[in-house]
Amino acid sequence: MTEKISKYPGTPLSEKDFKDENILFNYDQLKADYSWDTGIAIGQYLAALKEGVILGARCDTCRKIVVPPRTVCEWCYRPMRSFVPLKDTGVVNTFSLCYVTWDVKRIKDPEIPAVIEIEGASPLHGIMHMLGEVDPEDVEIGMRVQAVWKPADEREGAITDILYFKPIKETST
Query: Closest Cα to residue 56, out of 46, 47, 45?
Result: 45
- Give the nearer residue to another protein in terms of CB position, either 107 or 152: 107
Tell me whether residue 15 or residue 135 sits nearer to another protein (CB atom).
15
Cα 66 versus chain centre, distance: 15
CB of residue 152 to another protein, shortest distance in Å: 19
The 3-state secondary structure of 134-172 reads CCHHHCCCCCEEEEEECCHHHCCCCHHHEEEEEECCCCC
Query: Is 159 an interacting residue with respect to another protein (CB under 8 A)?
Result: yes
Residues that bind another protein (CB under 8 A): 1-6, 8-15, 17, 23, 27-28, 30, 34, 36, 38, 42, 45-46, 66-68, 70, 74, 93-104, 110-111, 113-115, 124-130, 141, 158-160
